[in-house]
Amino acid sequence: MSKKELVRNLEELEHVTGSLALDIWQHPQIAYEETYASTAQKDVLSEAGFRITDNIGGMETAFYAEYGSGHPIIGILGEFDALPGLSQSSKPYKDPVSENGPGHACGHHLLGTAVVEAVLGIKQLIDNGKVDGTIRYYGCPAEEVLSGKTFMAREGVFDDLDCCLTWHPGTSNVVQNYSTQAMISIKFRFHGVPAHAAGAPHAGRSALDAVEIMNIGANYLREHLVDGTRIHYAITNGGQAPNIVPDEAEVWYYLRGENREQVEDMLMRMHDIAKGAALITGTSTSHELLANCYHMLTNDTMDTVNYRNMEDYPMESFTSDEVAYAAILRKSMDPKLIEESRRQLQLDYNDILPTKNFYNITMKDTTMPGSTDVADVSWITPLASIGTTCGPIGTQVHAWQATAVFGTSIGLKGMHYAARIMALTAYDLLTEPALVEQAKAEFIKATVDKPYQAGLDETVLAPGTERKEQLI
């Protein structure tokens, strides 16, 4: 009966949390600047009686809110940062609200608010004496730059958790039992000597030449890396004018691999390339490490519980108006990507907004091409994640179509379903000690002799505080 009571609690909260999500969607802020969303969520949780701990790791928008006492302590991760340049109304055609402004194209307004809904539902059961223990919401900034949770982890705020849950908006209801890539974000800067490019080029030492030589070195390195690794880059400073030998230049790299060891090895090689580029050009170099996140550990025990709850409490169907909206929006999407997604899930072409649940156990040893700082938490405590249908098949996050649909009733319906499943699984973990012990045993086996160590040491500070560059 308590699970049915929990579902009723959540249904009664939907009006409040739906309004909260749309309010945050209308006020998008990028990584480390999410003051509107962070404050709005803290206000709701504080009013409900949650204890708030904020300014974690010196980050103004990082906080956690907890209710109850004692163990088990079940954490649920939320996020709320938007993406630059992806402003969009909810119309099914391109219609930016603010030209080049930010937008919630990854649905983090839904992500965080679903967790608020879930913990509020559990809170009512604690008040009624139906469950014992502690439920904790983590308001995590800056997932899009893959470092917010690393800074939080460095502060030890996840260390006392028994288990942890999270989710992400998507285009299907799925148990996310696959890994993600480890990733390092780093900027290399070169410092030279300016000169007139025509009158006295011999007097100059070009920082831009060093950047270009470094990129050549990185390109040759690619051939000798393990399959599945990636090097992405952007030249973020190439000088000011062609007739000036540039004395400052910068290149920004993302290094991705299947595990932490691969990306650390890549980083060592990149440092050597930077030194070589500086030596060749007569410049000096420094670097700024921005992010260093783990690959994801999954947990079969909690994945199974998530799937059981998804099957026991299925998602309601979408309305004809929602399907019609999705069909219009889908016309702007790449047909090849739609077909790829449809085949992967073995869906009928007309199943635009799927409500069935997917749990493919063969995905466990696979790696999704992408990264998240959620993975850091998975190396500290047992963690499980789900995705839910918040947009039509073919929707790509980090695109305007995602911003649009995530601001509609379709996105909200997926959000409420995610809140339901996370709350139900949290209930199971709070009321079944054997489940927690089984999840912990699996976690301990996977991490034996591999203790978590934050990839950003104390010399790397969160934005808003002074960073320390490493000079070479």
Q: Is 47 exposed, middle or buried (0-12, 13-18, 19+ CB in 10 A)?
A: exposed
- Cα gap 430→127, rounded to integer Å: 14
For residue 466, the model assigns a pLDDT of: 53
Across 271-330, where does the E strand assignment appear?
284-293
Question: Is residue 418 one of the residues assigned to a domain?
Answer: yes
For residue 467, the model assigns a pLDDT of: 47
210 & 163 share domain: no
Total-model pTM? 0.94
15 & 150 share domain: yes
Structural domain for 231, as ranges: 182-293
- Cα gap 74→64, rounded to integer Å: 12
Q: In tens digits, what is the pLDDT along the chain, a chain of 472 residues?
A: 689 999 999 999 999 999 999 999 999 999 999 999 999 999 999 999 999 999 999 999 999 999 999 999 999 999 999 999 999 999 999 999 999 999 999 999 999 999 999 999 999 999 999 999 999 999 999 999 999 999 999 999 999 999 999 999 999 999 999 999 999 999 999 999 999 999 999 999 999 999 999 999 999 999 999 999 999 999 999 999 999 999 999 999 999 999 999 999 999 999 999 999 999 999 999 999 999 999 999 999 999 999 999 999 999 999 999 999 999 999 999 999 999 989 888 888 889 999 999 998 888 879 999 999 999 999 999 999 999 999 999 999 999 999 999 999 999 999 999 999 999 999 999 999 999 999 999 999 999 999 999 999 999 999 876 544 444 4
Q: Which of 234, 261, 293 is the last residue of a domain?
A: 293
For residue 465, the model assigns a pLDDT of: 62
What percent helix, strand, coil does the chain show, rounded to 5?
40, 20, 35
Q: Which of 259, 293, 327 is the last residue of a domain?
A: 293
For residue 245, the model assigns a pLDDT of: 97
Q: Which of 255, 272, 293 is the last residue of a domain?
A: 293
Question: Is residue 452 one of the residues assigned to a domain?
Answer: no
231 & 134 share domain: no
254 & 299 share domain: no
Question: Is residue 50 one of the residues assigned to a domain?
Answer: yes
253 & 327 share domain: no
Give strand pairing partners of 471.
286
172 & 186 share domain: no
Reported as type and span, the H/E element at residue 471 is strand 470-471
363 & 422 share domain: yes
For residue 124, the model assigns a pLDDT of: 97
Question: Is residue 453 one of the residues assigned to a domain?
Answer: no
Contact 14, 416 (CB under 8 A): yes
Reported as type and span, the H/E element at residue 357 is strand 357-358
Is the CA virtual torsion 335, 337, 340, 341 positive or negative? Answer: negative
90 & 230 share domain: no
Question: Is residue 466 one of the residues assigned to a domain?
Answer: no
For residue 348, the model assigns a pLDDT of: 85
13 & 78 share domain: yes
CATH number at residue 264: 3.30.70.360
Question: Is residue 467 one of the residues assigned to a domain?
Answer: no
306 & 413 share domain: yes
159 & 254 share domain: no
19 & 101 share domain: yes
CATH number at residue 38: 3.40.630.10
Number of structural domains in the chain = 2
Question: Is residue 317 one of the residues assigned to a domain?
Answer: yes
Question: Is residue 231 one of the residues assigned to a domain?
Answer: yes
- Cα gap 317→354, rounded to integer Å: 8
